[in-house]
Amino acid sequence: MNSHRAVVGNTKSTAVSGKLLLIPEENLRTGLDDFRSEHADPTSLETDMLTVASAIYACDLAFKRGEREEITRSIILEIPVVNYHAFKNVNSDLELLLWTLSHDNWTLKFIHASGLPEAKRTWPQDKGATILFSGGVDSFAGAIDLLTKRGREAVQLASQVTANPVTHHSQDELVSHLLSRFGPIGRLTVRSGGRKRGKYTFPSDADREETQRTRSFVYLTIAALAARRTGHSELVVIAENGQMAIHLPLSAARIGAFSTHTAHPEFVTQATGLFNSIFDFSFRVTNPYLYKTKAEVVATIPPEDTKALVQTVSCWRGSRVSSFNHCGDCIPCIVRRIAFEHNGIVLPEYRRNLFNEDVTALQESDDGKRNLVELAEFAEVFRSNNDATLELLFPDLISTEIDKTAAINMYRRFATEAITVLNRYVGPAKLFLRRAGPASNPPRGKASPR
């Protein structure tokens, strides 16, 4: 297991060999200045929370995962906080949440920092909704749905931005579209993460971890802070389709640390309890799309808004795909394309037109082939097996936070969508022709950190 250490210090701190030194507002962007631009009087607890979330995310970026059995990391992070007892009381809960989210072993060591803990105060109470707005299809659909049903006065957006220009541009363009449709909308945008600045080092882009699984914790932190300020205790919404939220592994090689849980129902439940405890404020975190396929989410978007879908970004490699925003061969790109084409939306936005290739003739080492083959086999598994067999093949369905019947039905609908779309193309259609009979085992393939 890869072992890493980091400490949040100040400009008087001395770097220690083998330990990443993070200095707020130097090589660690906490987002405090962005928060202050909307709320001029940040409390010590809000400052602490931004520092904790950004430090966790910075460590996630700085420490690369190993290969195969070395994919899980051990990360020890020391953080000084003014509200020591508030964080000490949830220390183990936060470590468990981070395990659920990133499948890494986190040890958080909170240290007393000078200052006054946040004083007890009465926060506003309003039945509004705060939604995590990432620039993706699902959060765009969720924002439209909330704005249509509740009105702009009862909705605010919460976004995290990084140095990724594609994501930043996407968010700005989509917000512009929403403003033109609904008028002024409340939004808290926070930029956070690690960077090299002056004498304070941080790994370069090429040396950073790409999975960024803790980013959803940063997003929820921003949303919770925004919601408390405006009294939106009724809902803090994560809009993520069920395929990617429950995120059953496509193959045995993607089980455990190889599968992401950035919007998993267990993470959502743990986050709800954590933020309620830290902030002493009643939040209810929900995902309205938990049992919808991505195609079903796309179908909820009104015709007048579908023109803006070209501005959404789903690709894991979006910032590294030259003039395109989508690589075309990662799992999110494939799922996106199936969802769009199932709804009659065809966009020339992919660097690689994988669906037009003879997939069966590609090299086994080809990432696009591996991803498309595993997704096709996954769809065939759900088309060919009954509920009892699927529960045996996918034990992740057995969870107190998941309605397994609803989840299985959702994945079956996705299977139908995927098979229908892929069969329109000669190359991908061969993947179904070559199957001799019903699937009896989960598909297997090369391990992938995604």
Closest CA to 339 of 310, 297, 290: 297
CA angle 352, 358, 364 (to 5 degrees): 85
To the nearest 10 degrees (0 to 180), the angle between helices 215-230 and 44-62 is 160
Minimal CA–CA distance to 339: which of 449, 210, 241? 241
Contact between 192 and 1 (Cβ < 8 Å): no
* Cα 200 from Cα 181, distance rounded (Å): 44
Within 69-174, strands assigned E span: 73-81, 105-112, 129-132, 155-161
Q: What is the pLDDT along the chain (450 residues), one digit of tens a residue?
A: 679 999 999 999 999 999 999 999 999 999 999 999 999 999 999 999 999 999 999 999 999 998 877 889 999 999 999 999 999 999 999 999 999 999 999 999 999 999 999 999 899 888 899 999 999 999 999 999 999 999 999 999 999 987 778 888 899 999 999 999 999 999 999 999 999 999 999 999 889 998 889 999 999 999 999 999 999 987 789 999 999 999 999 876 565 444 567 899 999 999 999 999 999 888 899 999 999 999 999 999 999 999 999 999 999 776 555 567 899 999 999 999 999 999 999 999 999 999 999 999 999 999 999 999 999 999 999 999 999 999 999 999 999 999 999 999 999 999 999 999 999 999 999 998 765 444 444 443 333 333
Question: How many other CB atoms are there within 10 angstroms of residue 375's CB atom?
Answer: 23
The CA distance from 59 to 395, in Å, is 31
Contact in structure between 109 and 56 (CB atoms under 8 Å): no
Nearest 5°: the CA angle 204, 172, 263 is 70
Q: Are 79 and 110 a contacting pair, CB within 8 Å?
A: yes
Map out the domains of the chain as residue ranges.
2-112, 129-200+211-286, 314-433
Assigned CATH for 129-200+211-286: 3.40.50.620
Calpha distance 248→390 (Å, rounded): 11
Neighbours of 125 (CB within 10 A): 13
* H helix intervals, 31-154: 32-38, 44-62, 84-88, 91-102, 137-150
